[in-house]
Structure 1
C-alpha cells in the first residue's frame, strides 16, 4: 500500500501544480504578457499534465477500477471540459475579458473535479452536504 500512497500523493501534487500553472498562464494571457511565448512556458504544462494523467491511470490500475465508477467517469468528462475552457482562456479567447471569463469557468470545473475526486461522487461537493 506504500506505493499506492506515493502515487496518490504524486497525482495530487501534479494536480495542484497544473492548477497553479494554469492560473499563472491565464493571468499572463489576460494581461497579454509576452512570457506566454517562452519555450519553457509552452513545454511545462505538457510535462505536468502528462505526469498527472500517468499517475491517475496508475491509481485506476492499482485500484482495479474497471468498469470505471460513475464519479471517475464524471471526473474524466469534466477534465475534457476543463481542457477546452482552458484552451480558450489561454490561447483562443478573442479579448482579455473573454479569456478571463473562460479562465474562471475552467477553475470552477477544476473545483468540481477536485470535489468528485475527494467525495467519490459525481455530485462533487454537493455529496458532502
Structure 2
C-alpha cells in the first residue's frame, strides 16, 4: 500500500510541476488557455491529491514536519512555492515580476524534489557548497 501511495505522490508531483510550467508558458505568451475552465480547475484537483498523498505518506512512515528536518524543509519550500506560483500566475502586476516569480517557483519546486530524493534538508544546495 505504501508504494502505491508513493507512486501516486510522485505522479502528482510530475503532473503538478509540469502543469504549473505549462501555465507559466501560457501566461508569458498571453494565451487565453491560462484562463480556460480546465486550466483553472484541474491543478486544484491534482494538488489536492498530491497533498493528500503527502499527508498519507507522512502518517504511514511516521515522518512528520517539525520532527524530521527534510520533511520540514519540504513544507517550508511548499509554502514558498505556492506564494511564488500565485505571484507568477495571478498576483504579479508586471510581466517582469511574473516571469521572475515563475523562474523562482520552478527553482523552488526543483529544490523540493531534490530534498525528497536526497532526504537532506539542503537538497541540491549541498552540491553548490552553500550548505
TM-score surpassing 0.5? yes
User: TM-score scaled to structure 1, two decimals?
Assistant: 0.92
Quote how far apart the aligned CAs of 1:94 are: 1.7
Equivalences for residues 71-82 of structure 1 within 5 A: 71-82=70-81
Q: Which runs of 5+ in 1 are unaligned?
A: none
Deviating above 3 A after TM superposition, structure 1's stretches of 4 or more consecutive aligned residues are 126-129
RMSD: 1.5
Q: Deviations over 1:45-85 (max 9, x none)?
A: 10000010000001001101246301100110110000000
1: CA distance between counterparts of 2:67 and 2:16? 23
Instruction: Find out whether 1:45 has 2:43 as its counterpart.
Output: yes
Quote how far apart the aligned CAs of 1:96 are: 2.1
2: CA distance between counterparts of 1:27 and 1:126? 26
Structure 2 partner of 1:20: 18
How many aligned residue pairs are there?
A: 127
1: CA distance between counterparts of 2:101 and 2:70? 24
User: TM-score scaled to structure 2, two decimals?
Assistant: 0.91
